[in-house]
Structure 1
């Protein structure tokens, strides 16, 4: 057990790293000490914006800081493995954004390196911490819905913030990789990590053919060994902001959870809203305006858990092995 706050370093300076920085401000036992980005000026600007005392444009600098106990990787997917191996060698605990990496070989390298170095490899799947989904799982676990029969989860918006997601060589795929990984881990978590015996997917590129060779719409169907069926709907072609919802159908009941709509303010504006919700685009007319958006997604709760794992040497609820299992399903699809 540590007798100090967990020193945190951020890798990345774009959209998801901003979420990480904001979420960690909620965590009493965490202290963000440094940020690293190889893009000229980005780390310095990010550090200034978030009140972070140190910034680097090379990985060696942040790894050399003995005060840093945990690194959070919000860099492009194709460098997740490289950074993880270097961080493990430096003795840092690691949180990796989804997807874990680009392929199964990289996943095995990352897991093995962290195990040999005696550091934790934690997989940043926030749906396992989203308050509404935690309550949904509680209903299932207490037996209120009976035995689960069908699980559904969907995430839809009009496309990624960062350019690298559109490049399949750097991202590893399209929307099935980018957002399908959320659904797969959600289903595994909801269903007690029961083994998956079959995977089916329908992938298409319908709207963004000028931007990507990857899919921008995906339907993924999983069959678990305990008889549960799960269906994911993922899209990069929905305008008007993020949509994130789930359903659990059981033998004794059913439950619906909509992460955003139930926690928003229905707003009409002739001028448009300054910020309504992630990827909202045009907000002239009706929109739904979020409050405490990152909390509703579960990011602060996720990082509170990961920091606790490092500080008190606990096993993470979502690990590198979970990230590997998700990739196995995505590649099967």
Structure 2
């Protein structure tokens, strides 16, 4: 049996905590180090998860020769910088969504990893969520006939960290933050056929005082095989997380609610935090999910990526897949600006998706 893969975490906020928990459930992984520039964060994170080393500079972590794989959970505008450094250090990389801010960065990241001979793995957990894996099995088995329409929705009342609201660092609003999940979910469910076009209706309904990014989005994707994908993403829904999908086919239909079917119906006057997203006010009635990281697929996702490193396998979700997602996001913001369908492939040199819809200075 091969020895466990030595893993370093870059980042110490909520998503890195989910990654740490998930990797602790993977016997073939060993958490070796964590890095965070915020004073005291890395040390506290290391104590919490029993990680032997903590650094305030991620480059010191990358300099450790025994670390084979890094999991990057930092703000979007830092993704490219960290991935290029990790590739240069010869580390296999798991990068959180979205891949980066723009297509030029995406190409640099993919090329750097290819040149260095390291894996660039894209952390799209919906492709590993047990309920959605079963949904795909139903579709692949023919139980629903030929697919005609896929729907996915993810909603809460807004992100937990300041950088999500700052489009200079995030690149966009809810489409960039959560629309990326829907795009890769549709591609994975259908076996990744080409996408012909995207239409997007974006708006800032509630959070205009905090961001010029979109807080509500409806995306319609048309695939080359004729299937339509429809995504509804929102930062304005109260009462905690909502994540569900539908598959409509010529011989059937299936509905999968990721949270409510596994939840505890709860009333709380004080409210509480969701472990995974830390999103939304949960005062009053809500659905309390248990084993959140497992239900969302994080355990299976990290185990899969570790296995890919250990046995030199091709990841289920790659950097190239992440680039396709980013291209669709750019096309969606362009569609929202034009008010019409935008064909793919879509070429742009825009620095951030938001700049196609609301240039700097616009509200």
The TM-score with structure 1 as length reference comes to 0.97
Matched, 1:127 2:131: no
Check whether the contact 1:240–1:279 (CA below 8 A) recurs between aligned residues. Answer: no
Matched, 1:153 2:152: yes
Equivalent position of 1:255 in the other structure: 254
In 2, the alpha carbon distance for the partners of 1:161 and 1:283 equals 14
Task: Encode CA deviations 1:80-104: one digit per residue, 9 max, x unaligned.
Answer: 0111011001000000000000000
Check whether the contact 2:160–2:279 (CA below 8 A) recurs between aligned residues. Answer: no
Equivalent position of 1:75 in the other structure: 74
Closer/same/farther in 2, CA of residues 153 and 146 from structure 1, 3 Å limit: same
Deviation of 1:165 after TM superposition, in Å, equals 0.6
Check whether the contact 1:242–1:279 (CA below 8 A) recurs between aligned residues. Answer: no
Deviation of 1:286 after TM superposition, in Å, equals 2.7
Deviation of 1:276 after TM superposition, in Å, equals 5.7
Q: How many residues align?
A: 331
Equivalent position of 1:92 in the other structure: 91
Equivalent position of 1:137 in the other structure: 136
Equivalent position of 1:214 in the other structure: 213
Equivalent position of 1:110 in the other structure: 109
Closer/same/farther in 2, CA of residues 281 and 158 from structure 1, 3 Å limit: closer
Task: Encode CA deviations 1:60-94: one digit per residue, 9 max, x unaligned.
Answer: 21011111100000001001011101100100000
In 2, the alpha carbon distance for the partners of 1:212 and 1:3 equals 48
Deviation of 1:251 after TM superposition, in Å, equals 0.3
Matched, 1:244 2:221: no
Q: Which moved more, 1:26-35 or 1:287-296?
A: 287-296
Equivalent position of 1:327 in the other structure: 326
Deviation of 1:272 after TM superposition, in Å, equals 4.3
Deviation of 1:230 after TM superposition, in Å, equals 0.6
Deviation of 1:274 after TM superposition, in Å, equals 4.6
In 1, the alpha carbon distance for the partners of 2:39 and 2:78 equals 18
Deviation of 1:267 after TM superposition, in Å, equals 2.5
For structure 1, which runs of at least 5 residues remain unmatched after alignment?
none
Check whether the contact 1:276–1:287 (CA below 8 A) recurs between aligned residues. Answer: no
Q: Which moved more, 1:187-196 or 1:274-283?
A: 274-283
Equivalent position of 2:187 in the other structure: 188
Deviation of 1:178 after TM superposition, in Å, equals 0.4
In 2, the alpha carbon distance for the partners of 1:60 and 1:203 equals 38
What stretches of structure 1 move > 6 A for 4+ residues in a row? none
Check whether the contact 1:153–1:232 (CA below 8 A) recurs between aligned residues. Answer: yes
In 2, the alpha carbon distance for the partners of 1:285 and 1:168 equals 31
Deviation of 1:262 after TM superposition, in Å, equals 0.1
Check whether the contact 1:140–1:148 (CA below 8 A) recurs between aligned residues. Answer: yes
- Three-state SS of the structure 2 residue aligned to 1:287 is strand
In 2, the alpha carbon distance for the partners of 1:99 and 1:316 equals 17
Check whether the contact 2:206–2:236 (CA below 8 A) recurs between aligned residues. Answer: yes
Task: Encode CA deviations 1:297-323: one digit per residue, 9 max, x unaligned.
Answer: 000000000000000110000000000
For structure 2, which runs of at least 5 residues remain unmatched after alignment?
333-363
Q: CA RMSD in A?
A: 1.3
Check whether the contact 2:240–2:282 (CA below 8 A) recurs between aligned residues. Answer: no
Map residues 219-230 of structure 1 onto 2, 5 A cutoff.
219-230=218-229
Deviation of 1:289 after TM superposition, in Å, equals 1.7
In 2, the alpha carbon distance for the partners of 1:287 and 1:125 equals 25
Closer/same/farther in 2, CA of residues 54 and 165 from structure 1, 3 Å limit: same
Task: Encode CA deviations 1:193-230: one digit per residue, 9 max, x unaligned.
Answer: 00000100000001001111100000000000100001
- Three-state SS of the structure 2 residue aligned to 1:179 is helix
Check whether the contact 1:97–1:125 (CA below 8 A) recurs between aligned residues. Answer: yes
Closer/same/farther in 2, CA of residues 323 and 281 from structure 1, 3 Å limit: closer
Matched, 1:12 2:11: yes
In 2, the alpha carbon distance for the partners of 1:300 and 1:120 equals 19
- Three-state SS of the structure 1 residue aligned to 2:221 is strand
